[in-house]
Amino acid sequence: MTQPTETMDTHVLSRTAAHLAERYAGIFSPETVERYVFESYATLSRTARVRTYLAATAGHFADDRLRALAQSQGKIDKPVAQVLFVCVHNIGRSQIAAALLAHHAGNGVEVRSAGSLPGAEVHPLVVEVLAERGIDLTGAFPKPLTDDVVRAADYVITMGCGDACPVSPGKRYLDWGIADPSQETLEGVREIVEAIDTRVQALWDQIRN
């Protein structure tokens, strides 16, 4: 039991909520923002392995969810396509696809990823293989699939999450058959990243045309 950390986190979360309430003033009430920050923390806290920066991570997660919600409600512009990648644990396939699409498309799309059952941390070999391509995943963390990010998405790409994956009207759905990298060797992960990259580049071609 880590009471001091939790108590300190509460202060960080309250400051984050106040800060985000300013950012989203006129869009969401301080009440909504505060709920997002604290529930994002509670959600990540249930599964995250590394707890040192959990309050900061929860702040980023809450910010992204609020942005997605505001976009879905037309309160913030969506100048580019919104793409959501979903897999089971958000530690492998969906993290790889999100990182590669962001890498290729730059500001041409807005990319998110999530998992139906988020894992404890991004798979270390995935971080390593993407680093070989000059892509930094050190700040990435497994996130549960939430209502807000589904709402914001124009494209939802699922990989292996079956019935737990969301289906709602007005979006384009793609289901990609990609192997799970979690039990793979470094070489196996490299092959999976390559397979995902081929599909990601085709998707990016489709989006921009």
Position 40, amino acid: S
Q: Does 147 bind a copy of itself (CB under 8 A)?
A: yes
- Under the binding rule (CB under 8 A), the answer on residue 187 touching a copy of itself is no
CA distance 93 to 89: 9
Bridge partners (DSSP) of residue 168 are none
Kind plus residue range of the DSSP H or E element containing 84: strand 81-87
Q: Does 131 bind a copy of itself (CB under 8 A)?
A: no
Mask 12-31, x = binds a copy of itself (CB under 8 A)?
Answer: ----------------xx-x
46 scored as a contact of a copy of itself (CB under 8 A)? yes
Least gap, CB of 26 to a copy of itself (angstroms): 13
19-33: buried (b, 16+ CB within 10 Å) or exposed (e) per residue?
A: ebbeebeeebeeeeb
Residue 129, SS3 per DSSP:
helix
Give the span between the Cα atoms of 142 and 205, in whole angstroms.
Answer: 27
Q: Least distance from C-beta 2 to a copy of itself, angstroms? A: 7
**Angle of helix 93-105 relative to helix 186-208, nearest 10 degrees?**
50
Contacting a copy of itself within 150-179 (CB under 8 A): 150, 163-169, 173
- Judged by CB under 8 A, the residue of 148, 159, 181, 193 near a copy of itself is 148
Residue 43 touching a copy of itself (CB under 8 A) = yes
Q: Enter the DSSP assignment of 145.
A: -
Q: Based on the number of CB atoms within 10 Å of its own CB, is 60 exposed (0-12), middle (13-18) or buried (19 or more)?
A: middle
Q: Which of residues 71-110 bind a copy of itself (CB under 8 A)?
A: none
H/E stretch holding 155 reads strand 155-159
Looking at 40-48, 77-85, 91-99, 181-189, which segment touches a copy of itself (CB under 8 A)?
A: 40-48
Among residues 11 and 208, whose Cβ is nearest to a copy of itself?
A: 11
71's CB contacts (< 8 A; 6+ apart) are 77, 78, 82, 152
Question: Is 41 one of the binding residues for a copy of itself (CB under 8 A)?
Answer: yes
**59 belongs to the binding site for a copy of itself (CB under 8 A):** no
Which listed residue (12, 14, 19, 35) binds a copy of itself by CB under 8 A? 35
Which spans of this chain sit near a copy of itself (rule: CB under 8 A)? 1-3, 6-7, 10, 28-29, 31-32, 35-36, 38-39, 41-43, 45-47, 51, 69, 116-117, 144-148, 150, 163-169, 173
